[in-house]
Structure 1
Amino acid sequence: PNASTVDNIRSIFGNAVSRELIEIGCEDKTLAFKMNGYISNANYSVKKCIFLLFINL
């Protein structure tokens, strides 16, 4: 219950993925839009690509 998003990613996908994450975010009050997430940095390389997308409304 108290785990961070990165901790949850680490427990599912491992340390190699969680070490290479960069937090991103954007907010536009006129559009009532707010986004936050994580992307892997340029150092992360793997043969098999896994795309994760969670949308909370």
Structure 2
Amino acid sequence: MKQLTEQDFFFCFTKKLSIFLKSEGIPYIIKAKSIKDNAIYTVYQKTDELQRALDKYKEIN
């Protein structure tokens, strides 16, 4: 079994992007608050589906 590392996850600190990913059917693994600055962020597992959604978001914005 492969051990997961930080490189296996996408950390999203942009609310607009997080909302977009949700609208694309991409579920986040966890929603948390940064200890440094109290910013809310979501964490996604890197997948081909996530990458396609990120590419689509970049095209739109």
What TM-score do the two structures reach when normalised by structure 1?
Answer: 0.33
What TM-score do the two structures reach when normalised by structure 2?
Answer: 0.32
- Of Structure 1 and Structure 2, the greater helix share is in 2
- Of Structure 1 and Structure 2, the greater strand share is in 1
Structure with larger RCO (C-alpha < 8 A, sep 6+): 2
**Higher alpha-carbon Rg:** 1
